[in-house]
Amino acid sequence: MTNGEQSALWNGASGRTWVESQEFLDQLFTPFETLLADAAAARAPRSVLDIGCGTGATTLAIARRLGGGATCVGLDISEPMLALARARAAREGSSAQFIRADAQTHAFAPASVEMMVSRFGVMFFDDPVAAFANLRRAATRDVALRLIAWRSAAENPFMTAAERAAAPLLPELPPRNPDGPGQFGFGDEKRVRDILESSGWSGIDIRPIDVECAFPARALDSYITRLGPVGRVLQDADERTRSTVMATIRPAFDPYLQGGDVRFVAACWMVSTG
């Protein structure tokens, strides 16, 4: 998927879905937000860029932790998500700023950012080497980089449970390309290291993190029908197809049900420099 196609996706149905699901997704990904906010607080930079900031949760959390002494900017290509991020900042009186731009091509001020973070926002570039070279030009010499990205699909069975179960019924599901833009685009450690080294980054540390995530079981149907590849297909499906697919998919999530919650372990990378 090209950057233009990504822009169309995130400014269209997918962007609207993430806006409508903001509270749910923020709750689900709170552990990652905390990891990045803690890293920023420990570093105490004067300028932070949140790459692929979405609806702004991580940018806002870091701005709270750093206070008025730091400039915190969230960057994303999705105007619907950024509109919500700006509204959230205004409601809480945050100094966080949000800009609509593509990190692969945006004309950043050179050597202006002391810390760059991302919570699942860097796996979608159609030319990741160009993107990270552009980000490196925006970074100070001693920049701190803290990126969280998914490891492989095989290590994240929860994230692919719906599509595995639905595949016989939904032949139009797009295949996963582990070496292309997408959720698992940074799943291979060597590929991530090669991208960063080829784009001018050094002192790279890539370590696995396994993070426990949970959400209320009552939200499971909404998760299945609205998010991910299956959710995108089901949003345009007729009611009979939706009912048939859901009846097939639900049992695939039984291993993750614990009491009133859905619980799973997210297998990710913490990518760091500085």
Q: What is the rounded end-to-end Cα distance, in angstroms, of the chain? A: 31
Return the closest-CA partner of residue 56 out of 109, 117, 114, 104. Answer: 117
List the structure tokens of 61: 């959390």
Q: What phi and psi values does residue 113 have, to the nearest 5 degrees?
A: -115, 125
Quick one: pLDDT at residue 234? 85
Quick one: pLDDT at residue 4? 75
Structural contact between residues 151 and 61, judged by C-beta atoms closer than 8 angstroms: no
Please give the domain boundaries of the chain with CATH numbers for all domains: 3-152+177-214+266-273 (3.40.50.150)
Specify the pTM: 0.93
pLDDT in tens, the chain (274 residues): 677 777 777 787 777 888 898 999 999 999 999 999 999 999 999 999 999 999 999 999 999 999 988 999 999 999 999 999 999 999 999 999 999 999 999 999 999 999 999 999 999 999 999 999 999 999 999 999 999 999 999 999 999 999 999 999 888 887 787 778 899 999 999 999 999 999 999 999 999 999 999 999 999 999 998 888 888 888 888 888 889 999 999 999 999 999 999 999 999 999 999 8
Distance between CA 164 and CA 261 in Å, rounded? 22
Q: Tell me which amino acid residue 94 is.
A: S
Quick one: pLDDT at residue 233? 86
How buried is residue 195: exposed, middle or buried, by Cβ count under 10 Å (0-12/13-18/19+)?
buried
Give the H or E element holding residue 4: helix 3-10
Structural contact between residues 37 and 26, judged by C-beta atoms closer than 8 angstroms: no
